[in-house]
Amino acid sequence: MLKIGLISVSDRASNGTYQDQGIPTLITWLQTALITPFITENRVIADEQTIIETTLCDLVDNLHCDLIITTGGTGPALRDVTPDATLAIADRVMPGFGEQMRQISLHFVPTAILSRQVAVIRNKCLILNLPGQPKSIQETLEGVKDKQGNVIVSGIFASVPYCIQLLDGPYIETHEQIVKAFRPKNAHK
């Protein structure tokens, strides 16, 4: 079974002064987009680099998640250390994901260039840093679509199933009207 770690990085949500919106948004989106059954391990944590690093390592090394998605803490503010923590525990960096996330966001806001979102691999797990706002989360995952629903710029999730497959993870299928997973013809099952 596909195991997904979901981490909301937020000082206010972790101390209870703010209701987390990142994880509920991700769960709803995943339930809508994925055909493949999955389970999640959810964490709401403070924006502290050591806490983020420890949480990521636990989800990968002990709970064996195939995919981890973080929300929040990716901007230039001094408290935004999610990318720093993610890079610190990485085996390999996947720069194309960050480039694509910023490309998508530039269609909606000029401040997308301030984003420090990254993607990495640790062991056999893909880790993605997403923005914290629910609307931005969906846009990043699905991409830019015209009024008829045609994809103008692919969302990052289009590449996630094949990446996990290349890491010897489970075969992931998606609902194509939400996000069409891309694989070379020889990788289809």
Q: What angle do CA 135, 179, 187 make, to 5 degrees?
A: 145
Q: Provide the residue ranges of all domains of the chain, joining segments of one domain with +.
A: 2-187
Q: Is 131 within 8 Å of 137 (Cβ atoms)?
A: yes
> Going by CATH, does the domain composed of 2-187 fall within 2.40.110.10?
no
Q: Which amino acid is at 71?
A: T
How do residues 107-116 score in pLDDT, each as one tens digit? Answer: 999 999 999 9
How far, rounded to the nearest angstrom, does the alpha carbon of residue 163 sit from its chain's CA centroid?
13
The pLDDT score that the predictor gives to residue 36 is: 98
Question: What does pTM read for this prediction?
Answer: 0.96
The pLDDT score that the predictor gives to residue 15 is: 84
DSSP SS3 for 69: strand
How do residues 86-143 score in pLDDT, each as one tens digit? Answer: 999 999 999 999 999 999 999 999 999 999 999 999 999 999 999 989 999 999 999 9
How far, rounded to the nearest angstrom, does the alpha carbon of residue 61 sit from its chain's CA centroid?
18
Distance (Å) of CA 123 to CA 56, 120, 184:
12, 10, 23
Rounded CA-CA distance 89/176 in Å is 33
